[in-house]
Structure formats: structure tokens, C-alpha cells
Amino acid sequence: MNQHLSSLPRSLVIGLLLLWLLACALAIFGLGDLPLRDFDEATVARVSLELSTKKGAEQFFPTLWDVNYINKPPGLHFLIAGFIRLTRHSIDEVGKLPSEFVVRLIPALLSTLVVPLGGLIQWQLRPKEPFSSLATAGILMTLLPVARHGRLAMLDGTQLSAMALLWLLLLSFDKSNLDKFRALFAGLVSSFLLLMKAPFLIPALIAGGIPIFIGQRVKRLPLLALGSFFGLGLLPGILWHILHGLKRGSDALWLWGGDGAARVLFSSGEGSDLGSLVPILEILEGGWPWLILWPFGLAWAWKERHTPWGQWSLITQVVLAITILPLKTQLPWYSHPLWLPFALLCGVPFAWLVEKKKNQKIPAKNLLARVPYFFIAIGWCLFCFGILGFLKVIPSISLYAQFAFAAGTGWLLGGWLLTRSLRGKRILGALAVLLGSFVSLILLMGSGFWLWELNESWSVKPVAQMITEANASGVFIDGNHERPSLNWYAGQHVKRFEPLSSSGWILTRNESRFANDHSEKDCSLIQDGQEWDLMFCKAN
């Protein structure tokens, strides 16, 4: 099973490199065009900005608005903070915020690494099938949730790449002298996972470790020596948590308990009304057009459950599903780790559609051979959708016409070519399906539609500008509308309104109602905005 990277076919290396470069283009295109979103992006940005200004030992302990930040470890925040320092010379105005592009670039680029890493994992599992490796990488590149969440200043895309690298290193042990370095790097990657979403390291290691034990490969490995090197690599992550505990006492446990595993396991958060349906719907909504291949991949992996590929694909999918589905707090990006085993499963049947080895016995072969007709059908529907949108026959869909037309054209043409008898045409068909998805995604990323939000009904930038122009400080916002993105752009923590004992600035949607409700204060309108009014109230 194990193949050194030096034995990779040149064509596979070139193919994975090209797919990674396309993934980078997809990650960067239009990256800074839209504002940072709530909650995570704006919070990550502020924590990173404050880290970038710290000196000495204090730069290891994150804060949010100068209060101890104990929501997540600062692994990715450190990297963003470093990039903010490097680009600070480009900020002319004193106190001006780093751009959205600067904040998002590091996580966006790190998230793209799952594309070649996923392909290399598949190569380790099926070393004689370079098409399966390329297909897996291509699927990862063109999955909408992988592309979209990876572009955000959040932890999920980077975490997926780190998990992929950890699994690749675990797969690479071969009793050579390089094993100790693989163990060391696996420990370092685990340290990085400890510095992002610390509890997630446990299921990531379990998912990657069970197939190794089942395959009895551990019997051939010097476990004590490798464990020592792995522990050495794990040391930085453990040391940070120890130092964090010494610095912040029992509050440091909040990373693991109150705001870590305990919160998502036992507390239903906002947006979690559908429970376990949230990750299921995320897969059903975001897996196209590859979702049709998933059942075939599952059946194929079950048939080959005694092979490394079958074991890894099934076990990683099951372990991560068991980890994610029972969570009480369910948000769309919590299902992000599921996409790597999803691609490992779908890549093999997609590659078979190109190769079509006649003597290969696989489950439901005749049904799988008809999958290209499914591509043709949904491609034709999207193509017609796009044409109707361009012609404005249905005006409401015209805004989405370009995305549907690009994907529909690629899937329609690709599906047709995949039905041809010549292998060369089937290769072009696979490329057409991938290219249609890629062009559609890059058009989406260049538009204003890729950043849809949770309960964000008003734009924060005009409100933040109103606060800045009035030189207001200590601002309160009326109602349950506190938003991290408003805090970020206003350059201050705009808190929920609480009874004023002295003078203060107030954001309200109805200045006359607020003045009547607080007649004991002398409130005057400072600036009238579209969504919010800015008032200043004096104590009588």
C-alpha cells in the first residue's frame, strides 16, 4: 500500500499541482470584495489584530476587546496576526483596519491544501490508480462548501487540510528511517489541531488510527520509538494549553468544556433547530454533482472492506459522522470534516467512469455506467435555467443565470462525453464536468452571492461609518442586535443597551420611540441613518 512520494508518476504530480493552483485561484478571486461576516470571521479578525500588537509573552495569550479570549485556541489567529504585521506598512492611516483580503488570505490558502493532500491520500490507498487520485482532488476542488468555507476567516477550512495531512502521514509509515520524521510531523500537525479546535484532535486521530490497527500494520512498526517522536511533535500544543491554564486558571478549561466539546454536545445553539438534519442537509445541498456517486462509493468500499481503501473510506466516514451528527449545536460548517472521506469515496467511481475496466468486478456496475446520463439530465436543466435567466423569461432567476449556465454546460457536455466508447473522449468528459463546476464557482466567488449569512439583515459598514464620523465612543445598541462585525468596522465594542446612569451614545432603529421610552434622559438625534439612528443621551 505505501508508496513514497518520490515514486509518484510525473503526470500525477503535474495534475495535482494544477488542481491545487486552480484551487488557489478559486480561493483568492474576489476574496476581499465583501465585508467580514458574523460571528466567526469578525471575531477571528479582531483577536488576530490584537495579537499582532502584543509583545513578549503576552502575544501567546489572545484577547478580544482587551478581555481574555477563551472561545478557541489561537493557532490560526497567530498566523493571521503574523500576516497583519507583515502588511502593516501598507496601511497609511493610523488605526485603519487591515483589509478583508489580508484577514482572509492565510486561512484561504491553507484550506486549498486539502485538494492535493486528498489526492495523495487516495494514491496511498490505491497506488495503481492515478485517475482515482486526480478525481478525488478534483472533487475536493469543486465542492461548494469546501470552496466557500475555506475562503472565510474561520478555522474549518484550515482544520480540514490539517486533518488530511495528519492522515497522509499516518498512511505513510513503512518501517523506513523516515518513519521517525513522519511521526514527528504527525505530532506537529496534531499540535496545530490542538491550537485550533482542540477537542477535534480526538476524533481525527481515532478516524485515522482505527484503520491502521485493523490492518495490523502496527505490528510491523516500532511503536515506542514512533510514539516518542509523535509526543515530541505534540509538545508545543500541549505546552500552550498548560501555559494558558497557568495564566488564566480555571477559565482555560472553557476551551474544552463550556465553549468546547460540552457546549456543542449538550447545548442547542442558535441555528440548530433542525438538529442532526443540519449536517445531512449540508451534504445533500453541497455535494452536487458528486452526490450521485456517493452510494456507489459506499457499496464499492463495503465490497472492498478488507482493503486499505475500503477500511479508510468507511471508517473515517463513520467515525466523523458519529462525532458530528449527535452534536446539539449544529451549524453548517460543523459538517466540514465529512467532505474528505466523501471525496475519497466518490473519487474511485468517478475515475471508473473514465477508465471503465471491463474485467473489474464492482457493485452495480451497470447502474454506475448510467451515471453520465444523470450528469446530462441535471446539466440540461441547469443549462435551460441559465438560458431562461439570460433572456429574463423569469426575471427572478436572472441574477443566478451565469452560475447555472456554466455548471450546466460543463455537466451536459461532460456527461455526454463520458458515454463515449473512446477513453480519450471520456477523459475530456471528466475534465468538462470539473471545468463546468470550477467556472461556476469562480463566477460565484466573484459575485456578491458567495457570502450568505446567518440572521444578518442589515449592513454594518454604514452604521460603523456613522459611529466613526461622529467620533462616538462607548456606544450601545438598542435591542438584541450586538454584532461582532459592527464592532470590527467601528473599531470598538458596541454593546447591548443597558440602562444609562450617565451620558452615552445609543444606536436605535426608532429615535422617537427610544426618546419617549427614556424620557428621563435628554436624548438628541446626532445622525439619521437608513437602518439605525445615532443618538446622544445626557443624564438629567
Overall average pLDDT of the 122-143 stretch: 95
Q: pLDDT tier at 225 (50, 70, 90 boundaries)? A: confident
CB atoms within 10 A of CB 490: 22
Overall average pLDDT of the 48-64 stretch: 91
CA angle, residues 57, 262, 243, in degrees to nearest 5 = 15
Radius of gyration of the chain (CA): 26
- Under 8 Å between Cβ of 46 and 17: no
Cα 353 to chain centroid, rounded: 29
Return the higher-pLDDT residue of 488 and 222.
Answer: 488
Q: How many residues does the chain have?
A: 540
Residue 470 pLDDT > 70? yes
CA 532 – CA 84 distance, rounded (Å): 31
CA 347 – CA 386 distance, rounded (Å): 28
Q: Is 540 exposed, middle or buried (0-12, 13-18, 19+ CB in 10 A)?
A: exposed
SS3 523: strand
How high is the mean pLDDT of the chain? 87
How many percent of the chain have pLDDT more than 70? 92
pLDDT of 419 reads 94
Q: What is the end-to-end Cα distance of the chain in Å, rounded?
A: 79
pLDDT tens readout for residues 276-332: 788 888 888 899 999 999 999 999 999 999 899 999 999 999 999 998 888 777 777
Q: pLDDT tier at 5 (50, 70, 90 boundaries)? A: low
Q: Give the chain's largest Cα–Cα span.
A: 89
Overall average pLDDT of the 122-133 stretch: 93
Beta bridge partners of 288: none
9-25 as b/e, with b when 16 or more CB fall inside 10 Å?
eeebeebbeebbebbbe
CA 343 – CA 363 distance, rounded (Å): 18
Predicted structure pTM score: 0.91
Residue 540 pLDDT > 70? no
pLDDT tens readout for residues 192-214: 999 998 888 999 999 998 988 88
Q: pLDDT tier at 268 (50, 70, 90 boundaries)? A: low
Residue 83 pLDDT > 90? yes
- Under 8 Å between Cβ of 404 and 389: yes
Residue 538 pLDDT > 90? no
Overall average pLDDT of the 155-161 stretch: 95
Extents of the domains making up the chain: 5-43+107-354, 370-445, 460-539
Q: Which residue has the cell 439605525?
A: 532
Overall average pLDDT of the 470-482 stretch: 83
CA angle, residues 395, 397, 450, in degrees to nearest 5 = 135
Residue 125 pLDDT > 50? yes
Sign of CA dihedral 32, 33, 34, 35: positive
Cα 329 to chain centroid, rounded: 17
CA angle, residues 143, 116, 322, in degrees to nearest 5 = 55
Four-CA torsion 172, 177, 178, 179, nearest 10 degrees: 50
- Under 8 Å between Cβ of 137 and 153: no
- Listed in sequence order, the residues at least 6 apart from 267 whose beta carbon sits closer than 8 Å to its beta carbon are 328, 329
CA 344 – CA 362 distance, rounded (Å): 16
C-alpha cell at 251: 477559565
Number of separate helices (H) and strands (E) present in the chain = 23, 7
- Under 8 Å between Cβ of 496 and 509: no
- Listed in sequence order, the residues at least 6 apart from 1 whose beta carbon sits closer than 8 Å to its beta carbon are 124, 125, 127, 171, 308
Residue 106 pLDDT > 90? yes
Q: pLDDT tier at 500 (50, 70, 90 boundaries)? A: low
Return the higher-pLDDT residue of 51 and 527.
Answer: 51
